[in-house]
Amino acid sequence: MTDTGPLLVSSGDLIADRRYQWALNLAARSDFSGAADVLEQTVELAPRFATAWCALGTIRDRLGDRAGAIAAFEEARDADPEDYHGARLQLARLGAGEAAPAMTETYVRRLFDQYAARYDAALTEHLRYRGPEILRDAVAAVMRAAGRPMRFGAVLDLGCGTGLGGAAFCPFADRLVGVDLAPAMIAQAAVKDLYDRLVGAEIADFLAAEATAAAHYQLVLAADVFVYVNDLAPVIAAIARVLAPDGLLACTVETHSGDGIKLLPTLRFAHGEAYLRAVIAQAGLKLCKLSQASLRTEKGVPVAGLVLVACSRSASAATLMT
């Protein structure tokens, strides 16, 4: 999922707000030069108006003014430490600043809250998203190879969103727990009545609390979640601490041909295969399955991805490897 564009966030100055809206209307009519001129007037009136600076950066970028776009996104970043619009990501995309900066909670929450109502249709109908089905098939293959039934006591769906992953695994779970940062996504998931427990929280905070409570899950899912996380090592290590002795981690990622972490033009993160193998080993987990898979399409082109299943170290590697 990509950012859906500028929002009508007030600067606190009525005239600046009106100019900002005027600029958006010009941009909607493809008058980008005119929109840039009006946005420049807007930020003169309201120099700390991060939303307008971000819009100006986007339009300057579209006009081919890379230096001007960088300058605007830097102003947006400095005006908004919470990075509501992802200015730091835009700077990274343009080759300025940190190469793969972490997304702020504020940015991710805003991104998904504004998208929640149309999330299912956008992914399944327009992007042909099939991450949950790919994960289900991968887990089933691992369980079949181990001679174990496709049944789990407690299943944790990280970044559960509207419940697409929950729907795929609910028939195989005695208890299903979902956690997501965005309240609007949690509300959509609740309507489907799939989960025994739904929690609105940041993933790292939730996992830390579960580890303290000595919670154990037979299966932890992360479908299309890690594309919004730059460094996977801390979260994979935290997942390992809540896995049952025979537990599995199943996740999907977008990938690239190089090593390490890469910020894509879509402002999502891709992770190299060698990097994934390393963080799984560092967390004390054993790799059961790692294979290539196209999780969705972007502009009609399949997106390169990986599906991964890992087991806790106490599980039998010999019976779980496929």
| Residue 155 within a domain | yes
Name, in order, each residue with C-beta under 8 angstroms of 138's C-beta and a sequence gap of 6 or more. 250, 289, 291, 307, 308, 309
| Residue 106 within a domain | no
Same domain, 90 and 173: no
| Residue 108 within a domain | no
* Token pair belonging to 118: 């149309």
| Residue 252 within a domain | yes
Q: Measure the CA–CA gap between 222 and 231, rounded to whole angstroms.
A: 15
Same domain, 74 and 178: no
Same domain, 163 and 21: no
Same domain, 300 and 185: yes
Question: 235-291 pLDDT, tens per residue?
Answer: 999 999 999 999 999 999 999 998 899 999 999 999 999 999 999 999 999 999 999
Same domain, 140 and 232: yes
| Residue 3 within a domain | no
Burial call 62-82: b when 16+ CB within 10 Å, e when fewer: eeebeebbbbbbbbbbebbee
Same domain, 167 and 312: yes
Q: Which CATH number does the domain housing residue 173 bear?
A: 3.40.50.150
| Residue 90 within a domain | yes
Measured between its terminal Cα atoms, the distance across the chain in Å is 31
How many domains is the chain partitioned into structurally?
Answer: 2
Question: 22-52 pLDDT, tens per residue?
Answer: 999 999 999 999 999 999 999 999 999 999 9
Determine whether 202 is exposed, middle or buried from the number of CB atoms within 10 Å of its CB (0-12, 13-18, 19+).
middle
- Which of these three, 68, 98, 128, is where a domain ends? 98
* pTM, 2 dp: 0.90
Task: Give me the sign of the Cα torsion angle 266, 9, 122, 133.
Answer: positive
Same domain, 59 and 159: no
Same domain, 194 and 246: yes
Q: What is the pLDDT along the chain (322 residues), one digit of tens a residue?
A: 544 444 556 778 889 999 999 999 999 999 999 999 999 999 999 999 999 999 999 999 999 999 999 999 999 999 999 999 999 999 999 999 899 999 999 999 998 988 777 766 766 666 678 889 999 999 999 999 999 999 999 999 999 999 999 999 999 999 999 999 999 999 999 999 999 999 999 999 999 999 999 989 999 999 999 999 999 999 999 999 999 999 999 999 999 998 899 999 999 999 999 999 999 999 999 999 999 998 888 888 888 999 999 998 766 544 454 4
Same domain, 230 and 257: yes
| Residue 103 within a domain | no
Q: Measure the CA–CA gap between 290 and 156, rounded to whole angstroms.
A: 20
Same domain, 88 and 148: no
Same domain, 263 and 120: yes
| Residue 104 within a domain | no
Name the residue range of residue 84's domain: 14-98
Q: Measure the CA–CA gap between 86 and 267, rounded to whole angstroms.
A: 9
Q: What are the phi and psi torsion angles at 98 (to 5°)?
A: -60, 140
